[in-house]
Amino acid sequence: QKEVEQNSGPLSVPEGAIASLNCTYSDRGSQSFFWYRQYSGKSPELIMSIYSNGDKEDGRFTAQLNKASQYVSLLIRDSQPSDSATYLCAVRYGGSQGNLIFGKGTKLSVKP
């Protein structure tokens, strides 16, 4: 069974704080991992992708991957009210033609 698990939240952080979002997956053979942000009524947009163990930074976002623990995380530094959205973790199963399996999303609320 292909599974991607996330805490559904909601996760509430004050403006300027670090938001930490976590995700675990079931298939050890997975190679590609993604974080999408979805605002209410909009389509998901890709914010980070990661393929290798360790950290990958892009602006205020850092994705972390630990394949041994089957764990992916997303850190958002200096959180802004505009970061309030649902964050979806996704894992590609089945190779390059496979599909993404999405977690159920974590709703983040950043309070001014």
Q: Which residues bind other proteins (CB under 8 A)?
A: 31-32, 34, 36, 38, 42-46, 49, 51, 86, 88, 90, 92, 96-102, 104-105
Looking at the Cβ atoms of 35 and 79, the one nearer to other proteins is 35
What residues contact residue 1 under an 8 Å CB cut-off, 6+ apart?
A: 26
- Write down the least CB distance from residue 112 to other proteins, Å: 24
Where b means 16+ CB within 10 Å and e means fewer, 84-96 reads bbbbbbbbbbeee
- Write down the least CB distance from residue 16 to other proteins, Å: 27
Q: What are the tokens at 105?
A: 């999303």
Looking at the Cβ atoms of 7 and 32, the one nearer to other proteins is 32
